[in-house]
Amino acid sequence: MKIILLLILCFLQSAFGKEINWELLKTLELDKKTKILTPKPELKKILGQEISIKGFMMPLDYDSKAVSEFLFMPYIPSCMHVPPPPPNQLVLVKMKKGTTIIPSIYPVEVFGKISIDTNQELESSYKMEGIKIKELKENK
């Protein structure tokens, strides 16, 4: 029984990717002379891989009840008077084609493939093709 449970857990880990934290994303540095983003070896290992990360979403279309694109960050989005996180703490998430999600004010876990955003759309250093999102609010 324990072996079956262990196999199921291993499958779920590989099916939804490795969970990473924001500290790992902070290791991306911008070379001031060449203007090239340089990832550390630990970060290189996850680029292009399916991962999961927990944080908060900021929809890019506030008029829509379901969105397919949003900024993802480590803390709750603030009003426009508070500076946003640095670029290496922002992920531009575009959900897989045809997938939309309902925006949430609660923390969420995003699953998808992460890469460096060489175009630096919206001042984010990362972009992700989102596969799935799970809201992390507690039911009381």
What confidence score (pLDDT) does residue 33 get?
A: 83
Chain centroid to Cα 41, Å, comes to 19
What confidence score (pLDDT) does residue 80 get?
A: 63
Structure tokens that stand for 44 in this block: 């290189």
The closest alpha carbon to 47, from 129, 109, 108, belongs to 129
Grade residue 1 by pLDDT with cuts at 50, 70 and 90.
Answer: low
Grade residue 79 by pLDDT with cuts at 50, 70 and 90.
Answer: low
Query: Between these two residues, 96 and 120, which has the higher pLDDT value?
Result: 96
Question: Beta 50-59 vs 69-73: how paired, if at all?
Answer: antiparallel
Q: What is the pTM of this model?
A: 0.81
Domains recognised in the chain with CATH numbers: 2-135 (2.40.50.870)
Structure tokens that stand for 133 in this block: 């999102």
The closest alpha carbon to 115, from 55, 12, 23, 39, belongs to 39
Instruction: Name the one residue in this structure whose structure tokens are 């070379």.
Output: 31
For the segment 44-50, the average pLDDT, to the nearest whole number, is: 93
For the segment 15-27, the average pLDDT, to the nearest whole number, is: 84
- Whether 9 has a pLDDT exceeding 50, the answer reads no
